């Protein structure tokens, strides 16, 4: 996740920022981490590998739980 990417996101309207913790979290610089701490909308770190595995295994509970997490973020952080 580059500074350019984050800069582009700031110009778009979005309700939640969903970040793949597998790919993006370990490369997150301190500056970017600080920027995300003050992001204007809720930020949710998700394990995309677990999501893919869940879809392959046909686990509907995983999707429901992810939707609940996103919904809770939106409910507690309205625009």
pLDDT tens digit sequence for 19-34: 877 665 667 778 888 8
Question: How many other C-beta atoms are found inside a 10 Å radius of the C-beta of residue 17?
Answer: 17
Domain edges within the chain: 3-76
| Residue 25 near residue 19 (C-beta atoms within 8 A) | yes
Q: Is the model's pLDDT at 2 over the cut of 70?
A: yes
| Residues in Cβ contact with 14 at an 8 Å cutoff, skipping those fewer than 6 apart | 41
Identify which of 23, 20, 69 has the alpha carbon closest to the alpha carbon of residue 42.
69
For the chain, what is the mean pLDDT? 79
| Residue 12 near residue 39 (C-beta atoms within 8 A) | no
| Residue 46 near residue 66 (C-beta atoms within 8 A) | yes
This prediction has a pTM of 0.66
């Amino acid at each position: 996740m580059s500074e350019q990417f984050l800069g582009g996101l700031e110009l778009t309207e979005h309700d939640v920022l969903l970040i793949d913790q597998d790919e993006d979290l370990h490369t997150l610089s301190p500056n970017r981490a600080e920027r995300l701490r003050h992001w204007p909308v809720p930020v949710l770190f998700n394990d995309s590998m677990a999501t893919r595995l869940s879809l392959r295994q046909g686990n509907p509970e995983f999707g429901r739980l992810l939707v609940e997490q996103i919904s809770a973020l939106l409910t507690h952080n309205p625009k």
